[in-house]
Amino acid sequence: MRRIIKVKISYILSVMLLCTTGCSTDFLNITPRNAFSDETIWQDPVLAEKFISDIYNAFDATNSGFTEQMQASATDESLWNHTDAFLLLNTGAINGANQGWSGTSRWWERMYTYIRFSNIAVEKLTDDTKNGIKDQPAKDKLLAQAYFIRAYCYHQLLRYYGGVPLIINSYEYSEDPTVYKKERATYEACVNQIIQDCDESYKRLGGVKLEKGRVNALAILALKSRTLIYAASDLHDSKKLTTKVSDLGDIADKLPLLAYTSGSQQERYRLAQAAAKAAMDAGAGYKLNLTEPVSVNQGITNYKSIAMGGGSKAAGIDVTAAADVIFARYFITEQSSSHARDNGPNGYSSWGGNQPLGLLVDDYEMSDGTKFDWNNPVHKTAPYKNRDPRFYASILYDGADWKPRNNAADPANQIQTGTYDLLVGGNLTKFSGLDTKQAPRESHNGTWTGYYIGKFIDPDPDIIDAQARQYVPWPYFRYTELVFNYVEASIELGETEIAKTWLNKIRFRAGMPAITATDQNTLRKIYRHERRIEMAYEQQRFFDARRWLIADETLGRKVTIVKVDATFKPGKSLANTYKHDESIYDYNYTPQEFNTKENRIWKNQLYFIPLSRDEIRKNPLLVQNPGYVE
């Protein structure tokens, strides 16, 4: 903690203390034009605005879902193709000395850095003796942003670690290390602080609309909604937590850091329901007023359009679907996203980094709402036909139509992840697809699982994955999440008719049929499945499986993949150049476990991420999470 608290402020304009020595030479007393004193910053509304802008670096590229190593690969959504970055985490071997995937270890220091900056802004702007800004609406606009970012940073820390030290004031530098020692606050106290900051932010922002990419009123309500639905979840109810996690001997004394130890879970769900409804009433989302399913093709287009968030120029993409995106990181020319390059097929010279698991692919329902089942001979023969339209908008599978490959070996522009009979020089051979690990181009980037991610990749044929970046925004919050929060709280409160109605609105937009179940247990399972599918690759699953206390049944499952092999039908053949053709080939699909790269298991200490050993040594008042040694 000490290192974090002691970090020197690096303002966007390189804040520097001016020389105050007794120099009398005039030319040495010129105010620098590229450096400003702390006092000067808060006397000038333009410079104060620059300071606030710098705090938005809390949302930089390393804090968006378009990182090269996606959080999805720490879940049952995907497998990381390259290094062993996720191995320790996915096999339960992380500890305070080695937290495994860097996506977890970086949050502590990074979030506290921007909490400190937010604290400075709040202190300076709430005390009229510390600032010279006379325009109160302008001051409130700055404060609203500082409160929101502080709340967001604490929400990030809370959902990874449980209760953390609540630092709501800045520290002057001191050589005394005890100044920086502070205990972890209770889970409840952290929730209360986040809600308080959200309320302060919302009150001060009012109806002011800031430029794109900055906080807005609906984003504040969305953060409040998420915080409260998390707080109401089973993971943070002490009785349910200890019933499920009974194998950690040191959990009892640490419960206040992880869960509510008093109060009513039902009342917490009531608060979550109200917060979600308030946020829903403040916005509208995208196409959530339907009374029956759209067509399959329209469902695919709707889902793709939402994922594009207004950042694609592809034909057919509806830019008004950006209405579903509440708060996002937007990419401009100088800072465009490399998501497509990082995850596209190797046959397009992309890196195939995070590869969809069979576990996820198999969870997409059939288009009639029934479950997909490899034991069903019809499903096994044609596993990629008649599936949930969101499947086609999210997953690149063998035979899927894709972008112009500009490769004579694939004139059809189709994904090739299997092996296929082919006549070459008159001889029967087995041709390995261009997107496999046996491909002639960048084979090390080929798929292990038989699939590639399609979601968030701009379908514009003029943007070839490895050659050009894209400008699709990363959604931190979207309106559909608010609906899910409302549905979840309603189910837990027994208000199943309301939940069913809103679930069907989401399904109708995707082209899926209505659900009819109203039994609470059945509807809960349906809801959790629907959220998994709709929010795939949006950094939801990592937390959802934990807060529902179902990680042992989901995240701990073995990796599954599919092998695709195509043989000529009797009397049929194809020479020299392969293309997917079911009139020529019999396609054989073999699902199987794949434990070679990661033999995944679940251990209950993984419900919370361990605090870094280095942080505990700096601040001995920190208590490690249960199940971990320092």
User: What contacts 372, CB < 8 A, 6 or more positions away?
Assistant: 362, 363, 364, 365, 366, 379, 383, 387
pLDDT at 23: 42
pTM above 0.85, yes or no: yes
Beta-strand runs (E) in 81-129: none
Query: What's the average model confidence in pLDDT over 436-442?
Result: 93
Nearest partner of 260 among 547, 615, 612, 521, judged by Cα = 547
Average pLDDT rounded to a whole number, residues 14-36: 43
Q: Which carries the bigger pLDDT value, residue 52 or residue 173?
A: 52
Residues 382-411: tens digit of each pLDDT: 999 999 999 999 999 999 999 999 889 999
Residue 313's pLDDT is 94
- pLDDT-based confidence at 337, cuts 50/70/90? confident
Per-residue model confidence as pLDDT tens digits over 459-518: 999 887 776 789 999 999 999 999 999 999 999 999 999 999 999 999 999 999 999 999
Whole-number Å distance between alpha carbons of 213 and 200: 20
Amino acid 629: pLDDT:
83
pLDDT value at 216 more than 70: yes
Span 65-79, average pLDDT: 95
Determine how many CB atoms are found less than 10 A away from the CB of residue 37. 15
Predicted local confidence at residue 335, as pLDDT = 67
Closest CA to 102 of 83, 81, 126, 123: 83
Task: Check whether 2 has a pLDDT greater than 50.
Answer: no
DSSP 441-505: S-GGGS-SSS-EE-TTS---TTS-TTT--B-PPEEEEEHHHHHHHHHHHHHHTT-HHHHHHHHHH
Angle between helix 496-510 and helix 296-308 axes, rounded to 10 deg: 90
Show the beta-strand stretches assigned E in 324-389: 325-329, 354-356
The answer to whether 352 and 70 are in contact (CB under 8 A) is no
pLDDT at 31: 52
* pLDDT reported for residue 469: 82
Q: How far is CA 271 from CA 148, 153, 154, 313, 478, in A?
A: 20, 22, 19, 41, 20
Helix %, strand %, coil % of the chain (to 5): 45, 10, 45
Euclidean distance between CA atoms 446 and 433, whole angstroms: 10
Q: What is the 3-state secondary structure (H, E, C) of 382-450?
A: CCCCCECHHHHHHEECCCCECCCCCCCCCCCCECCCCEEEEEECCEEEEEECCCCCCCCCCHHHCCCCC
For 392, residues 6+ apart whose C-beta sits below 8 A from its C-beta are 300, 400, 454
Collapsing DSSP states into helix, strand and coil, what is residue 329? Answer: strand
Return the percentage of the chain with pLDDT > 90, whole number: 84
Q: Which amino acid is at 46?
A: V
Amino acid of residue 329: R
- 14 falls in which pLDDT band (50, 70, 90)? very low
Q: Average pLDDT of the chain?
A: 92
Rounded percentage of the chain residues whose pLDDT exceeds 70: 93
* Tens of pLDDT, residues 357-370: 999 999 999 999 99
Count of other CB atoms within 10 angstroms of residue 510: 25
Q: Is the dihedral of CA 524, 526, 530, 536 positive or negative?
A: positive
Q: Return the H-helix or E-strand segment holding 565.
A: strand 560-568
Q: What angle do CA 604, 607, 608 make, to 5 degrees?
A: 120
Of the candidates 618, 626, 614, 629, the one whose C-alpha atom is nearest the C-alpha of residue 182 is 618
**Are the CB atoms for 37 and 18 separated by under 8 Å?**
yes
Tell me how far apart the alpha carbons of residues 72 and 329 are, in angstroms, rounded to a whole number.
Answer: 18
Tell me the average pLDDT across 52-74. 90
Nearest alpha-carbon partner for 132 in 11, 37, 200, 12: 37
What pLDDT does residue 102 have?
A: 78
Q: Is the pLDDT of residue 49 over 90?
A: yes
Among the residue ranges 31-35, 187-191, 277-281, 537-541, the one predicted with the least confidence is: 31-35
Is pLDDT above 50 for 113? yes
- Burial classification of residue 270, based on how many CB atoms lie within 10 Å of its CB (0-12 exposed, 13-18 middle, 19 or more buried): middle
Q: What's the pLDDT band for 36 if we cut at 50, 70, 90?
A: low
pLDDT band of residue 18 (cuts 50, 70, 90) is very low
Residue 15 has pLDDT above 50, yes or no: no
pLDDT the model gives residue 370? 98
pLDDT higher than threshold 90 for residue 63: no
Q: Is the pLDDT of residue 9 over 80?
A: no
Asked if 490 and 499 count as a contact pair (C-beta separation under 8 A), the reply is yes
Mean pLDDT of 262-277: 98
Q: Which is more confident, 2 or 620?
A: 620
| From 177-181, 211-215, 563-567, the region with the lowest mean pLDDT | 177-181
3-state secondary structure of 601: coil
- Take residue 129 and report the two structure tokens written for it: 């003796």
